[in-house]
């Protein structure tokens, strides 16, 4: 069904729930590889099932995170700066969301207020497992992109950036309390944006709300099922590295009535000093100039959430 509506900023938009977004089964790697490349070209988005990530690790971190967000506000503030509410970024963007943002490189993480250390150890186990899955997906994507017998050094180029001790990857927990339909109009929990990093692996608690956009003003709701699946988003850096062949997907979250949504996003990023440019073996000439991830991140933080930023790095046509 296609629904035409007006969003809270009065922009006319179409919601299309007649599109089945790709669900990729990781059990058959050679098939998965091709389907992943197709999905990244068409949508910049897919879901993976049979990903091999232990359910216990997922359940544990989801349970601890749900417990964290259920605490009274002052208790949550004890977690310190990783905890935030409503403010998204440094440029005045706000959303109906509270969150925890943690650096997810190799050093173990400790939440200040986590006296029993249960949440922190669940997070550390999750980060290790989700990083492994991200690396596996990136190796498969590279193999699918570059052909059947790529040089192993090239096909592991992206995963090596993520495994680097200085990788700037991030883990973000988002919690969207339900909207009260008797008093409130529909609300956006997290406004439209693309993720700036290489790739995002996202879990949700099975409550819908995530939407992706493949053309301006057209939104596709993402079905949160199968509940065991991970959503995978192409980020800005992967668009640059594939010279625009993969698209960094625009997405947002609509707050739901009655149910609260919780999501856990792992943003796989290189070290700040790493150079980002078109990958060897990808059709040239490069659309974008080379830059460091630190430089890109700085540019992203100087802009509003919904602003496109990759175009700032396009090469001048002579």
Ligand X SMILES: O=C(O)CCC(=O)C(=O)O
Hey, which residues are catalytic here?
261
Q: Residue 253's binding partner, choosing from ligand X, Fe ion, none, with beta-carbon cut-off 5 to 8 A by kind? A: ligand X
Q: Closest CB to ligand X belongs to which residue?
A: 263
Shortest distance in whole angstroms from residue 173 CB to ligand X = 9
* CA torsion, ordered 24, 25, 30, 35, to nearest 10 deg: -10
**Contact status, residue 199 vs residue 311, Cβ threshold 8 Å:** no
195 binds ligand X (CB under 6 A): yes
Give the one entry of ligand X, Fe ion, none that residue 210 binds, where binding means its C-beta sits below a cut-off of 5 to 8 angstroms depending on kind: ligand X
Instruction: Detail the DSSP E strand segments found in 9-163.
Output: 12-16, 23-25, 45-49, 83-88, 93-103
Q: Which two tokens stand for residue 186?
A: 């529909």
**Shortest gap between Cβ of 196 and ligand X (angstroms)?**
9
Which residue, 187 or 251, has its beta carbon nearer to ligand X? 251
- 194 in contact with ligand X (CB under 6 A): no
Asked whether position 114 contacts ligand X by CB under 6 A, the answer is: no
Question: What secondary structure letter does DSSP report for 246?
Answer: S
Residue 29's closest CA among 160, 155, 209? Answer: 155
Q: Which residues contact 242 (CB under 8 A, 6 or more apart)?
A: 40, 145, 278, 279, 282
Least separation in angstroms between CB 290 and ligand X: 25
- 184-223 footprint of Fe ion as x/- string (CB under 5 A): -----------x----------------------------
Pick out residues in 223-262 that bind ligand X (CB under 6 A).
Answer: 251, 253
β pairing state of 23-25 and 12-16: unpaired
User: Strand, coil or helix: what is 36?
Assistant: helix
| 202 forms part of the interface with ligand X (CB under 6 A) | yes
CB neighbour list of residue 39: distance below 8 Å, 6 or more residues apart = 21, 22, 24, 45, 46
CA angle 189, 246, 96 (to 5 degrees): 5
With respect to Fe ion, which residue has the nearer C-beta, 48 or 232?
232
How far is it, in rounded angstroms, from Cα 247 to Cα 41?
6
Q: Are 119 and 65 in contact (CB under 8 A)?
A: yes
Tell the smallest beta-carbon distance from residue 202 to ligand X (Å): 6
Question: Which residues 259-278 are close enough to bind ligand X by CB under 6 A?
Answer: 263, 265
Which of residues 139 and 168 has its CB atom nearest to ligand X in the complex? 168
The tokens of 74 are what?
């002052």
Q: For residues 264 and 279, which CB has a smaller minimum distance to ligand X in the complex?
A: 264
Q: Which of ligand X, Fe ion, none sits in contact with 172, Cβ below 5 to 8 A by type? A: ligand X
Measured from the CB of residue 229, what is the shortest distance to ligand X in angstroms? 13
DSSP state of 309: -
Partner touching 173 among ligand X, Fe ion, none, CB below 5 to 8 Å by kind: none
Taking the complex as a whole, the smallest distance from the CB of residue 28 to ligand X amounts, in Å, to: 27
Task: Report how many residues bind ligand X under the rule CB under 6 A.
Answer: 11
Contact residues toward ligand X (CB under 6 A) are: 172, 174, 190, 195, 202, 204, 210, 251, 253, 263, 265
Q: Which residues bind Fe ion (CB under 5 A)?
A: 195
């Amino acid at each position: 069904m296609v629904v035409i509506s007006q969003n809270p900023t009065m922009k006319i938009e179409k919601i299309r729930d007649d599109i089945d977004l790709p669900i990729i089964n990781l059990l058959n790697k050679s098939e998965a590889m091709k389907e992943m490349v197709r999905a990244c070209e068409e949508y910049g988005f897919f879901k993976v099932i049979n990903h091999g990530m232990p359910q216990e690790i997922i359940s544990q971190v989801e349970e601890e995170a749900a417990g964290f967000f259920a605490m009274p506000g002052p208790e949550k503030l004890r977690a310190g700066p990783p905890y935030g509410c409503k403010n998204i970024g440094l440029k005045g963007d706000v959303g109906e969301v509270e969150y925890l943002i943690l650096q997810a490189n190799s050093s173990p993480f400790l939440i200040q207020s986590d006296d029993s250390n249960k949440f922190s150890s669940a997070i550390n186990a999750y980060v290790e497992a989700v990083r492994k899955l991200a690396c596996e997906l990136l190796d498969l994507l590279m193999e699918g992109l570059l052909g059947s017998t790529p040089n192993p050094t090239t096909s592991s180029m992206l995963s090596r950036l993520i495994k680097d001790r200085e990788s700037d990857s991030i883990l973000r927990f988002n919690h969207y309390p339900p909207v009260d339909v008797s008093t409130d109009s529909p609300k956006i929990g997290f406004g439209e944006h693309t993720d700036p990093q290489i790739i995002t692996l996202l879990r949700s608690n099975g409550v819908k709300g995530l939407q992706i956009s493949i053309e301006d003003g057209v939104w596709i709701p993402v079905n949160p099922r199968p509940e065991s699946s991970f959503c995978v988003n192409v980020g800005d850096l992967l668009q640059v590295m594939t010279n625009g062949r993969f698209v960094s997907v625009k997405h947002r979250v609509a707050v739901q009535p009655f149910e609260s949504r919780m999501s856990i996003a792992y943003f796989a990023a290189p070290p700040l000093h790493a150079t980002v440019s078109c990958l060897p073996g990808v059709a040239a000439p490069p659309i974008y100039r080379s830059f460091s991830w630190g430089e890109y991140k700085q540019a992203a933080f100087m802009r509003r959430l919904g602003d496109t930023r990759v175009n700032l790095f396009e090469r001048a046509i002579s």
